[in-house]
Structure 1
């Protein structure tokens, strides 16, 4: 009887030890799994990062993101690959990033177009569908007209343009529906006491096609910036009418701000990077830090300024607040941007 009891107790002890071993192995496996899941963030980046630019090559957004990415990639430790995905008021590219894996390897270079496109009904998502990474630069807009139109109608500044429209004259304006240049001309006209819907708008997919339309005589004017319009300003084929900013641009010192012309309005094109919703915080910080270091380089700062833009780094939380303010402003004007 004692022998049977001893055998029974021995078996129970072995079962208990086996159970402890399984629990230990399970805990070990669980810890290993947790370690593996965090390795993706801790090892970031271990391959090139795709920077989606939702416009055709050659526009202000394309030029600036490509320039800054060249400097940022050495701080990131991996190649940053600018990739143009134009179409549908930047929504082809933005939707691609929105639906991408939130692993940091696909990010979006964007500006206010996200909000204007949403509030004018072009797309059903906005800033809140992404994780903000950082704000990169700010660029003043410059309403401009063709040399021919300027000479034929005596349009030399924004005041002349506003008076021309108020007199009931037809003005054909290039824009991208639901974009930041759409917002700027609408808000500018609204501030000047002109119904934004009184202009004859012609939509083009991005800034570069708008310049082509100006040169071809298809439209009278457009809202561009110094980064993309420098060559046209230098040649004299495009006449800048006013700087939509608090101060004059040092590279166009003779062009007055719209405030100097009596219109109480200013706005800048604020370019930054968004990531797919759910991107790990460590990855967002790694990308943001790499671009921050790049934007601190004096050489890059000068190159950005030569393009008529200004470094304006804001980290994730500050950028998020900035986007919320922009979104509110866009939503208020949206009814007058719908035709």
Structure 2
């Protein structure tokens, strides 16, 4: 018993010492995608505002490749000292945890520790105006009446946009729709606007310009409540599809084994930053809503995403590219 108390005391002292000295050098925030995307934008906003409270530079490092898995793996294998963090697209990573489980070389839940959720980018169902549908019920009815004729674009086999469409197919009664995958939202939007494909579930930032210009028709946002960016567009629940909710969520994670005291410190500072009105406005301009959380809440959110998309992938028999 005395030995156990001694061990606990030593561990407590070590944790306290780690927190007292942390951070004493710059922190690297790895973005596992190229510059310019939502993950990068959110990461740079956080890095900018975390430097002052942490007393150290937070340096964003873009490490793109393998659909985000390369950068995530590098953080998972980094020393667990709080100086290398992941700015992750948690919805995409959760999808890949099932879709590419045989090829990725890290485990999202075992090799990474959630620090805080950071932002959420809403999705919206859009159609080319030539398609004779004006709401979600008409879209489902059209798909049922025209099996195999309705084409839907996505930015990739494992993208949240693809999963959003697959969820609609399942909830609509295994709709017979044709998937047309693209390498990114840009080319997918180009073909949707030109009428090469009929419809798509896309992020609001990528589609809002086309919606406002009348080049795409918005049917519903896949969020629990209407969003400020498209206040006149109903939610999927309002459109008669309760429970049909999809967003692209982002968060910060550390390598597994990082001292809890450091994770808690980082989480507290991130939550404070994301609560600032000016930070929320910076993110909203880029189409993202701030979503601060505790490490425990982030862990629960990631677990829920993994379970949700694992079922969709299994039911739709989706394979990686």
TM-score, normalising length: structure 2: 0.81
Q: CA deviation at 1:220?
A: 4.5
Residue 116 of structure 1 corresponds to which residue in structure 2? 95
2:237 pairs with one of 232, 254, 259: 259
State the alpha-carbon separation in 2 of the partners of residues 56 and 164 from structure 1. 38
Distance in 2 of aligned mates of 1:203 and 1:78: 40
1:140 equivalent in structure 2: 122
Structure 1 segment 86-105 matched on structure 2, within 5 A: 86-105=64-83
Is the alpha carbon distance of 1:60 and 1:194 closer, same or farther for their aligned partners in structure 2, counting shifts above 3 Å? farther
- Provide the residue aligned with 1:188 in structure 2: 168
Distance 1:302 1:52 in 2: 23
Deviation, 1:309, is 3.4
Aligned: 1:59 with 2:30: no
**Deviation of 1:193 (Å):** 1.9
Q: Is the contact between residue 85 and residue 92 of structure 1 (CA under 8 Å) also seen in structure 2?
A: yes
Matches within 5 A, 1:124-135: 124=104, 125-135=107-117
**TM-score, normalising length: structure 1:** 0.77
Deviates more, 1:298-307 or 1:318-327: 298-307
Query: Aligned pair in 2 of structure 1 residues 322, 213: CA closer, same or farther (>3 Å)?
Result: closer
Q: Which residue of 2 aligns with 1:210?
A: 185
Structure 1 residues not aligned, in runs of 5+: 1-33
- Most deviating of 156-165 and 125-134: 156-165
Match of 1:30 in 2: none
Question: How do residues 232-311 of structure 1 correspond to structure 2 at under 5 angstroms?
Answer: 232-264=210-242, 265-311=244-290
Deviates more, 1:37-46 or 1:61-70: 37-46
> Could you tell me whether the CA contact under 8 Å between 1:109 and 1:273 is conserved in 2?
yes
Aligned pair in 2 of structure 1 residues 194, 95: CA closer, same or farther (>3 Å)? same
- The alpha-carbon distance between structure 1 residues 282 and 161, as it changes in their structure 2 partners (threshold 3 A), is same
- Displacement of 1:238 in angstroms is 4.3
- Decide which moves more: 163-172 or 300-309: 300-309
How far residue 41 of structure 1 moved from its aligned partner, in angstroms, is 4.6
Q: How far did residue 90 of structure 1 move? A: 1.6
Corresponding residue of 1:77: 55
Q: Distance in 1 between matches of 2:21 and 2:215?
A: 50
1:3 corresponds to = none
- Which deviations, in whole Å up to 9, do the C-alpha atoms of 1:26-46 show, x marking residues without a partner? xxxxxxxx9899755532222
Pick the structure with greater CA Rg.
Answer: 1
SS of the residue 1:142 aligns to:
strand
SS of residue paired to 2:119: strand
Match of 2:4 in 1: none
Report Cα offsets for 1:39-84 as digits up to 9, x if no partner: 5553222232222222233333332332233222222222222232
Return the alpha-carbon distance in structure 1 between the equivalents of residues 133 and 34 of structure 2.
30
C-alpha distance in 1 between matches for 2:279 and 2:169: 35
Shift of 1:117: 0.7
| 1:174 alignment partner in structure 2 | 154
- Greater Cα offset, 110-119 or 152-161: 152-161
Unaligned stretches of 5+ residues in structure 2: 1-11
Question: Secondary structure at the residue paired with 2:221?
Answer: coil
Structure-1 separation of matches of 2:317 and 2:300: 24
CA contact (8 A) 1:230 1:307 kept: no
Provide the C-alpha distance between the structure 1 equivalents of 2:245 and 2:306, rounded to a whole number of angstroms: 16
1:202 deviation in Å? 1.0
Alignment partners' CA distance in 2, 1:221 and 1:91: 28
Q: What is the root-mean-square deviation of aligned Cα atoms in Å?
A: 2.9
Q: Does 1:49 align with 2:5?
A: no
Distance 1:81 1:274 in 2: 15
